[in-house]
Amino acid sequence: MTTTTTAAASATAPLAAVRPYESYVYAYPHKTAYRPLEDRPRLRTLWAAEPKDALSLYLHIPFCEVRCGFCNLFTRIGAPEELTTRYLDALDRQALAVREALGDEEPVRFAAAAFGGGTPTFLTAGELERLCDTAERRMGADLRSVPLSVETSPSTATADRLAVLADRGTTRISIGVQSFVDEEARAAVRPQRRAEVEAALGRIREARIPVLNIDLIYGIDGQTERTWLTSLDAALAWRPEELYLYPLYVRPLTGLHRLGGAAAGAPARDGEEAAWDEQRLRLYAVGRDHLLAHGYEQVSMRMFRRLDAPREQEGPEDYACQTDGMIGLGCGARSYTSALHYSFDYAVDMREIRSIIDRFTAAEDFSRAEVGRYVDADEARRRHLLQSLLQASGLPVAEYRARFGTEPGADFPAELAGFAARGWLDASAPDGLLRLSASGLAHSDALGPALFSPGVRTAMAAYERK
């Protein structure tokens, strides 16, 4: 079989027996496609020819007070004080090495910043001050003049932590609530009570951080349209500027996966999987329509933004995630250049995560990329198409043409024809705009993986979970 035939078969195969919830594509290529880099390239070499005038800065904190049943993020439960100190020490060493690698031959400017995890507010108020100092004094990011997004949780959104974040320029705070119904929170192995959530939201609003985002999950065992609307209305009572609606996934090595069975939200048979898919699609539509009716616009399958939310919090117009670079600091963070995506080792199992964190905190040399995946011209096209098409605003074909000198329809004829055949493309979109239909947005988690290259699919399939 020739390479061309293999690529064509791989491109069309995912559409033959599509499920609506294949995979959440939040980054491409996924970290399970990364591998140890034999050449361990120097960061200075990697960034030498890269534009540095509109970078994104991400600082990763791999600690949480609890591990939710659905979570497969790179994070560990709890941390003794000396571990957080050692981690911040290592983060500081890494920042020094990275900033030196960026050089001073041309201006280095950060256009956006984010603290994620894990739960960044697991850190104490004093440790959060130190985290901001690393971003500002080591990396040169001006946190008070660029959008700064920080993730939090109900139990760690304390007044003293929020005061630090507000003072240091945080423009957006995102809180994972998942459900305002206590029984559903327990079913998702998320120990919390609604009263605790409401108190945390009150403290966030008192901190006057401009944008509040609330994360909710649909597809939890026992969840109905009525209880889903209960959570939506409870969130809307706080008039959040943003809401993210996530379908529940049960991924390998997570708490829900270990519980097993349909009762844990992990269907074991095809009929149960089909019923769960139908439940999630139905609840997605209920949530989408409810938010649209209450003054929100849909930005992507997951993201909804209040129509009167302050637009200056969206980020500068000169930063584009499709083309601009990212600097990630911390053992779970990714960094992007035009030719290489790189990070550290990835794991979900708690013992493996602890081992990786220990190696990170003991490291002295952060001058080289250790684990990653090179991105060739075809992958760059796929990434641009993915990141644009999965947004409700769609892909201006002229932007794609200006960057690559080709047309998306010529580069991905089989994939786009398959999407059109399923009604996933908006036939009413203006000329020159490639945009998803309402059905296409609803099936984003099937559409995205259908654009993965054969090489990335092979690497992801060969990844040994740990």
pLDDT tens digits along 209-221: 999 999 999 999 8
Number of other CB atoms surrounding residue 227 within 10 Å: 18
Query: What is the rounded average pLDDT of the residues 395-402?
Result: 97
- Give whole-number Cα distances, 348 to 93, 239, 320, 445, in Å: 25, 34, 30, 21
The band of 12, judged by pLDDT with boundaries at 50, 70 and 90, is: very low
Alpha-carbon distance 147 to 262, whole Å?
41
pLDDT tens digits along 321-362: 656 699 999 998 999 999 999 999 888 787 888 899 999 999
CA torsion angle 209 175 320 145 (round to 10): 20
Which tokens sit at 208? 């006057």
Alpha-carbon distance 74 to 345, whole Å?
10
- DSSP code at position 136: I
List b or e across 97-107, with b for residues whose CB sees 16 or more CB atoms inside 10 angstroms: bbbebbeeeee
Amino acid of residue 130: R
Query: What is the rounded average pLDDT of the residues 34-61?
Result: 95
The band of 13, judged by pLDDT with boundaries at 50, 70 and 90, is: very low
Alpha-carbon distance 346 to 341, whole Å?
14
Query: What is the rounded average pLDDT of the residues 82-102?
Result: 97
pLDDT at 5: 32
- DSSP code at position 406: S
Among 148-162, 182-196, 239-253, the range with the most confident prediction by mean pLDDT is 148-162
E strand map for 248-308 = 296-298, 303-306
* DSSP string of 137-173, one letter each residue: IIT---TTTS-EEEEE-TTT--HHHHHHHHHTT--EE
Residues paired with residue 61 on neighbouring β-strands, in sequence order: 117
pLDDT at 251: 60
Positive or negative torsion for Cα 216, 218, 223, 229: positive
Lowest-confidence segment of 79-83, 138-142, 348-352 by average pLDDT:
348-352
Averaged pLDDT score across all residues of the chain: 89
Alpha-carbon distance 463 to 251, whole Å?
14
Which tokens sit at 202? 């009150």
pTM for this model (two decimals): 0.91
List b or e across 178-197, with b for residues whose CB sees 16 or more CB atoms inside 10 angstroms: bbbbbebbbbbbbebebeeb
Alpha-carbon distance 183 to 193, whole Å?
9
* Higher pLDDT among residues 352 and 415, named by residue: 415
Alpha-carbon distance 26 to 401, whole Å?
24
The helix/strand/coil state of 21 is: coil
**Distant-in-sequence, close-in-space partners of 265: CB < 8 Å, separation ≥ 6:** 70, 187, 188, 219, 220, 221, 248, 250, 256, 276
Query: What is the rounded average pLDDT of the residues 231-236?
Result: 98
Which tokens sit at 111? 């256009």
Which helix (H) or strand (E) segment is 58 a member of? strand 55-61
Query: What is the rounded average pLDDT of the residues 123-146?
Result: 97
Query: What is the rounded average pLDDT of the residues 52-78?
Result: 81
Residue 6 has pLDDT above 70, yes or no: no
Query: What is the rounded average pLDDT of the residues 108-121?
Result: 94
Alpha-carbon distance 288 to 292, whole Å?
6
Alpha-carbon distance 43 to 243, whole Å?
37
